[in-house]
Amino acid sequence: MGMQRTTILIAEDDPDIAELIALHLGKEGYQVLKAVDGREAVRLAQTSEIDLIILDIMMPNMDGYEVIRVIREQHRMPIIFLSAKTSDFDKITGLVMGADDYMTKPFNPMELLARVNAQLRRFKQLNQPISSAAQPALIAGGLTIDQEQRMVTLYNERIELTPKEFDILYLLASHPKKVFSAENIFQQVWGEAYYESGGNTVMVHIRMLRKKLGEDKQQQQWIKTVWGVGYAFQG
């Protein structure tokens, strides 16, 4: 029996766009499932072995924001928003809700394919079994970051982070006081070449991390901005 093929779900109500994406993914050897509305996308995500989702926002029955909210309650597979909504607010909303990437229409199918490959490669690396002794949790003050369980607690209360938020926090906390540029964070966490809006993407995730860690309530500042350079963990 051969290896199980990687399965990608395309949640897109425009049949021409869905077929174009499926054509390119099929040439790359991926198995493709399609959903024409949000409810079908959720059903397929819950009943099939899906490795990555390409998700439109404006769909019938249930929009992409609601779809990702429901899916993220149980699943961690990479999700790429592909939408005609092009404002920074829409992109930020998508990333904050748990998307791993955001592309706008019209799009270059080859760029989408490159991002699919990068997300799958990154996800596989993060979920490889630990062959040696388990990595000890990182502890700084009241903050505990458990890499093996991908869990963060602050003063014994669990903090719910998106996969990318966790990866950024773990990267910074693994090298306390070291300053990482936005470009360096993007390349290490997203696992792909830095592009024009990458800095804003990192900034949005850092902002949400700080909020979840209580920095907006004037508690300890875990992540310091070094103006003109980047970010450093201050634990």
Residue 7: pLDDT band with limits 50, 70, 90: very high
Name the more confident of 92 and 19.
19
Q: Is residue 61 part of a domain?
A: yes
Residue 3: pLDDT band with limits 50, 70, 90: very low
Domain hosting 122: range is 7-126
Give yes or no: residues 114 and 61 share one domain: yes
Domain count, the chain: 2
Instruction: Name the packing angle between helices 15-27 and 109-126 (round to 10°).
Output: 60
Give yes or no: residues 91 and 194 share one domain: no
Which of 75, 102, 126 terminates a domain? The answer is: 126
Give yes or no: residues 122 and 172 share one domain: no
Q: What letter does residue 180 receive in the DSSP assignment? A: B
Is 230 in contact with 182 (CB distance < 8 Å)? yes
Q: Is residue 90 part of a domain?
A: yes
Give yes or no: residues 20 and 112 share one domain: yes
Give yes or no: residues 14 and 101 share one domain: yes
Give yes or no: residues 195 and 104 share one domain: no
Give yes or no: residues 115 and 183 share one domain: no
The rounded distance, in Å, linking the Cα atoms of 179 and 162 is 22
Residue 109: pLDDT band with limits 50, 70, 90: very high
Give yes or no: residues 120 and 11 share one domain: yes
Q: Is residue 154 part of a domain?
A: no
- In this prediction the pTM is 0.67
Q: Which of 191, 192, 189, 148 is nearest to 169 (CA)?
A: 189
